[in-house]
Structure 1
Amino acid sequence: MSRPTGRVLTLLELLQSGGTRTVAELADRLGVDGRTVRRYVDQLIVLDVPVESVRGRYGGYRIGPGYRLPPLMLGDDEALAVLLGLVAGRRTGLTAAERTAGETAAAKIRRVLPRHLARRVDAVLESVAFTDSPGEPDAPDTGILLAVADAVRNHRPISIRYTGRDGRRSERTLHAHGLVAHSGRWYVTGEDVQLGEARTFRLDRIEDARTLPGSFEPPPERTDPAERLLSGFATAEYRHEVTLRIQATVHQIRARLPASVALVEDDATEGWRRVEVRAERLDWLPPVLASLDRPFVIERPDELRDLVADFADRLASYAQHP
């Protein structure tokens, strides 16, 4: 496909995404000048695509109402990427209505694929298995998800009505920095304006979200939203605070204690790492430490030392029986 033809098709995709596009915006997206944009528009009109010219300060081009998309044409890689994306999207905590929309969208794409390609895509979809179960996610409201995403993208303050895990309701003004989908739930990270602190909120606990006038300047060195979420999990208040020293690499430790569970820092002794874990229960830690198969020291709590000793005794007794 020649580059001018490719740019004409790109122009069609931009116009089909909705709204009025200025000549300057289209020129920037296509990497050409304004005169070339107008020439590409003329080519679309010759192809009977109803491109309308909009006059005025915010004028430009748009697709006329009622225009239907041409038949869908996807290559092997594109079709597989789209359909697998829809399948994966069902596992990220979408509402029931959105899951239905994903299924109907996948069915529509499947129907218009060429027969040979449809068979190959079906083979992948029927063969693939996921290692985790989606369970019953705590789904956010679609309108709230879109409102928060808009606030993140355009750096606009947003007012939310929020219910905490203790059942208390409050109204917050948030400078949202990012959205994170994690284990079937959606979260937004940002700065709570009233508190002046970095906070993380679950979207399914937001009852209402309303963007406010104005904008804010994001911090120059803000933490990655996903890292902020995981470190928040690792430092949250739990019943037990565990401190360990483990002679292992960070990669070896992370294989058993991910960032959502533990904080890992370099220790004063070369080759050792200081690990802090907060947990409601301790009984899961002895098997994890054993699976690391690396020297470790338990600094606290004493209860964990007893559990590790009991676990070691049980393993020894099992080994003695044929």
Structure 2
Amino acid sequence: MKAITIKEFGGPEVLEWTDVEDPAPAPGEVVVDVAATALNRADAVQRIGLYPVPEGASPYPGLEVSGRISALGPGVTGWRVGDEVAALLTGGGYAQKVAVPAGQLLTIPEGVGLVEAASLPEATATVWSNVFMTANLAAGETFLVHGGAGGIGTMAIQIAKARGARVATTVGGPEQAARVRELGADAVVDHRTEDFADHGPYDVILDIIGGDYFERNIRSLAADGRMVVIGLQNGLEAPLNLADLLFKRLSVHGTTLRSRSPEQKAAIVAGVQKEVWPLVGSGAVKPIIDRVLPMSEAAEAHRRLEAGGHFGKILLVNE
């Protein structure tokens, strides 16, 4: 088979579409013939050498795919060769085939095409695990997600709105602002001209930025507010006034999805299948896709991701 390999750490030009060995399913795994994968910020961070591959995981980028099962490992039940699936991965999605634990498989939601389904596993699992399983966002509460135009942001807006929250988000311009309002955002803050902290308080914040956003996040949380930090685009360090935590009874969580155990991921995927897939099937939550490129053009896709300005997910397809 072919896969996108990282020949050395660096810019998008280090990505190569090359021949590699086919994967074989271990006990409890299946092999999926990949129809499509989706880019995530973590792929670019891995490419530059700042996101080490977990032990035992595929060295190729790609944290989600859609495709068809082509082989079953020992002990797999409930799935058959030929089934169309989406899958949450620990790596390996930029390829023609990938092995994945059966517990991380999802059906294709009703009304969603096989290729566009590749845009869903990572974003839905991230939102469900952090916003609902960890932060316990409830109907009627106010939710803020940073980066509303990105893959996580567009999904978070839709799911939170569908489950009855008031949704706020930050964006980088009027065009993005108009589009996130169409997705259901109630309040939109242009981070280039406004301070989101002036528009609070928020009961729950999902932060993909880190760095200097941290202090403002804390300041803008309501009493008993909860924040989950899942990204560090603005840096690793930030000041913290502990009095805010104490007197407002705040909770702050830092999480990653990739490094969780297969059992933990299976529990998250089961929640997505039960709670989020019906929202997708009803049309309340939709895949948001910026563009689709051939797998061999992964370098160009990474340039697009890093340039910013995209809306939703960038997909790579096997032709």
Task: Give the TM-score, by structure 2 length.
Answer: 0.28
Larger radius of gyration: 1
The structure in which a higher percent of residues are helix is 1
Task: Give the TM-score, by structure 1 length.
Answer: 0.28
